[in-house]
Amino acid sequence: MTSTLTILEPYPGIFAYYDGRIAGTRLHAEGPNWLDDGAYALGVASYAVVDGQEALVYDTHISVPHAKAIRAHLEGLGVTSIRVVLSHWHKDHVAGNAAFADCEIIALALTAERLAENREKIEMATPPIHPLVMPNRLFDVRLDLEVGRRKVELHHFAIHSADGNVLFLPEEKLLLAGDTVEDCATFIAEAEHVATHIEELKRLRLLPITRILPSHGDRDRIAAGGYDDTLIDANRHYLERLKTAAATGAPIGPLKDFAADEIAAGSILYFAPYEDVHDSNVARMQAAAASI
């Protein structure tokens, strides 16, 4: 299950556990499943912030074996205290929670609510996440933590999912973004709330961010230190254009053309499998527009 997992260190003590974006490779099964057809196909990373013997894990990856590999790596570094932060409730971010069942698992109260509401579906999914280990420390808007000498801020942003929770290191001006931004197009999970997501992306832009490490992005760019803050703009512009086009009935071309300006500027890197994400987004936005 973890044969293609790679451990990157884009900054000292900031580790990315990256898997996926490997053509022709599937981890779970040949048939349709959320792991291979979603996170693995698009590339997925969980992260850890480490200082001394303390670590803060941001999301528990796409399987328990992945999470166990993360834990083994951290313990191999001499880490003796591990806490977990969940970016939001979606399966590819909580699938490995069981490997950290004896740790503090921090999440927004809204994330805990969504997990509880969807627990049966999550535990019976393909592949199943059973048992789903729930968070045991909750907050509502913001939570400040320390990892050794490193300061960490958790902030609620209703982007992609209503319970988006980003991790910001103010001294490094580094954002661990979860799914609030993606390269090369955000996946629209809540089409009815896209207007809110757009406004929240504007608010996210106000944080003094210099570099961004997303959950779904290009392996080499993450390894080299991630993205600059224009990734936020690229995701917002995509949503704005899509919202307008869906509302007016304007034709919507393939992602390669629809996001051509941002691709040309280097804010995002074109990755062909995201055409399927774009097609899904178009259908969801057109359905949402038709229901108004």
139-186 confidence digits (pLDDT tens): 999 999 999 999 999 999 999 999 999 999 999 999 999 999 999 999
224-262 confidence digits (pLDDT tens): 999 999 999 999 999 999 999 999 999 999 999 999 999
Closest CA to 127 of 169, 98, 87, 101: 98
Q: What is the pLDDT of residue 7?
A: 98
Burial class (CB in 10 A: 0-12, 13-18, 19+), 45: buried
Return d(Cα 153, Cα 169) in angstroms, integer: 6
Phi-psi region of 13 (alpha: psi -120 to 50; beta: other; left: phi over 0): left
Q: What is the pLDDT of residue 287?
A: 96
Distance of CA 234 to the CA centre of its chain: 16
Other beta carbons less than 10 A from residue 75's beta carbon: 12
Across the range 199-218, mean pLDDT stands at 98
pTM over 0.95: yes
Confidence band of 292 (pLDDT split at 50, 70, 90)? confident
Residue ranges of domains in the chain: 6-290
Report strand pairing: 104-108 vs 137-139.
parallel
Looking at the chain, the whole-number percentage of residues with pLDDT higher than 90 is: 99
Burial of 216-239, coded b for 16+ CB within 10 Å and e otherwise, reads bbbbebbeeebbebbbbbbbbbbb
Give the chain's mean pLDDT: 98
Confidence band of 289 (pLDDT split at 50, 70, 90)? very high
Q: What is the pLDDT of residue 291?
A: 87
Residue 9 pLDDT exceeds 90 = yes
Q: What is the pLDDT of residue 63?
A: 98
Architecture, CATH, for domain 6-290: 4-Layer Sandwich (3.60)
48-98 confidence digits (pLDDT tens): 999 999 999 999 999 999 999 999 999 999 999 999 999 999 999 999 999
Confidence band of 263 (pLDDT split at 50, 70, 90)? very high
Looking at the chain, the whole-number percentage of residues with pLDDT higher than 70 is: 100
